[in-house]
Structure 1
């Protein structure tokens, strides 16, 4: 067989895993998509490389069969590379407590791959790359990680691979810690459908010597889902089971609320939309001067500012949520604005009135779904790359809501003390492992709300992170917008 590197024969999601050379990387994955096999190839290549460029590999599965399977996979890769120095062997090694059954491949380079049991002490005093496979099923994953992370002090690597095993598992906690930005590890996610999209079934057909067809793939996919039954979400689609319920507790939300932070609400009279544009502009300008000028003038000019915006027109409300970022990295809310039944152009007028006066504006994140795309685009035209036009989706919620929650848990954000703001944040629920907004509910005034301020707050926090590389505040050239008829 011709010598080939892993990258030359693997599928795109496997190549992406190999291409990521972070010291610590983690993947939540579907079963049987070849990730462990891929990692075995990487470890074989690393062990076959002589000198400091190579390294030992230490594999930790949760049972003996997994250990043997990994070693056999690595031996298969080693034969591909034509680098293996000795036969696969079973040996007994000792520690201070007991003999540990291990499997080992020795390479001519002097490096080795060893499979160990999942006792954390097995990793003490070793170096190279630690691979923790099916991490969610280990009895002491935190202990294993603690021991493995010592590898990184001398340039070693840690690889954590697993399907899910419940929402309360240490592995799911690790995944959420990464998403929240609390630990600087790289996170990958590959569901069964992701693997299929990257050619998994075509590769299986090639291996089995059968013809690939779209119908065949669709039927095979359904067979696999039927096989796993009620466990399919967890086993195939990276959704930890029993993960439903309220995302933020009332106690946690109220602990971050502060008195004296105004929630400024504006809802025009029913006939407002029928008035001329000049009349509407004049009324909005007067409202801004009366309600916004004072709070904006009171902002600390030395602090960086950002904002989030969730858009609504007739059903939902628009919420504009500014933040100022202190030298202690605390995100403080100076005020928020809620708009109900305000025409598009007048929403633009109010947004620009606020954003033009936010000191040292580093960024904004705006809901760009549906009709909100208009306002997000005009803001990006006015303020440039500082504006993130966010298409809110399950993927966005999955990646960013854990970070917003972490701000509450770590006491790095303050929000207004307001019943509707509390109500909206209590409306964030876990559905299939992802934090989302619950169905529309009545607010304090009896009118419908759909978690609007919670979304705006999450977008504001997102903007505060994305705008972390501070951009010096430059006043907007109002003359250009005056010529376009938007001289607000």
Structure 2
């Protein structure tokens, strides 16, 4: 077992059976000395000299941070533990990155530490909390100090079991970077250090969230901002010339940088993200943060209802009672405060598990602006209770003029029940390329015209930032997932509900020529839904 890690690496194969030459990383001369005068750039020196327990590099492509980290890790592992030496675990986003990193360490071990380090190819045993194991291909270098550097080809599930210096490279491109970042904090308990290095991968990526939180002082990470331009100013092209044998000149440097930037063509957002460390709104983002925030107002309620898995197995009368209590406690006051003179519409993006199931209610004012009145967000709520909440909201809306509901997949049940209850005021929407092509652009235009008003909330902002051009249509990309304020995954939930609501509002209200019977016992919207206040045939309880 690794000391205190709970993770046991399998012993390597007989060294004699290893390939004669394992990967050495980037092509660098055999006599290349990283500590020679003028080799390390200023930002590389700053990175190495920063001994913070938590530090992160927000960088452009090929700015030499991984190189500097490999040198620092070599120096750390070469020390005896009594002198501050530690084991180092490098976790890249690809196997090739691990091969490159361990190649750097092998070179630096020979040149700087005077050790003829041999790269061992072995299988790392990732012992999970449930007792099972997964084997990860890895490379290792042992130092005479007793410490080692290991480069893993993929992220271990039990990352908390690692102890020492943990380096997460290209963190924004890991499959589950949030889980990685959540786990590594446990390493600090026993004196470990964490280095998070990455270019950006969109504003919604957890790496960008880490950077924002660190800059706001919410986390103790020390942030190093290293865009490509800074690296060039610090001598990056001079180092390229040194390695390739070219002659440096100021003119050649300008031409080289322009050539690299022009290779992105018209994809300026991609170029700015990869080189200038400016996170892209998204690939072909439909809305900017500025546009969305300009259409937000404070004080608009967001009501959340989250239930445990066991709730679906509760007796029916218990589930109904819980739902009734939720509606009366949370929704009744909101419905009672609505303007009875204004038409009201709703859109629902359905989800049963995983994502949120959102109902967005809006009213049109005299200027035809759709103003969100409130949002109901449900997680892990059974079908029947989602139906009852939907009925409660829709039946309680003054001048309820239209609803559009996600009828894709499991949402088809709820959408069908809505049509059965409300007739032609409700629309069953099956998302297709053609539906998005026709209905998404008007919603996006509403933000330019400022005829849409949303709650001022981080989750709503991110949901709308997720709207992007995908093969010519505006939608939330299928593979886009990010964490909300409650720590659960989101998939543009309120944005999709908003598009549905907008669609319903453009079809015009359905008016009926009748005089409603007076409510019994109360003038509050929603009261007449309960059995004690109405006939059993209309009761949802």
Pair member with larger Rg:
2
> Normalization by structure 1: what TM-score?
0.50
TM-score in terms of structure 2 length = 0.45
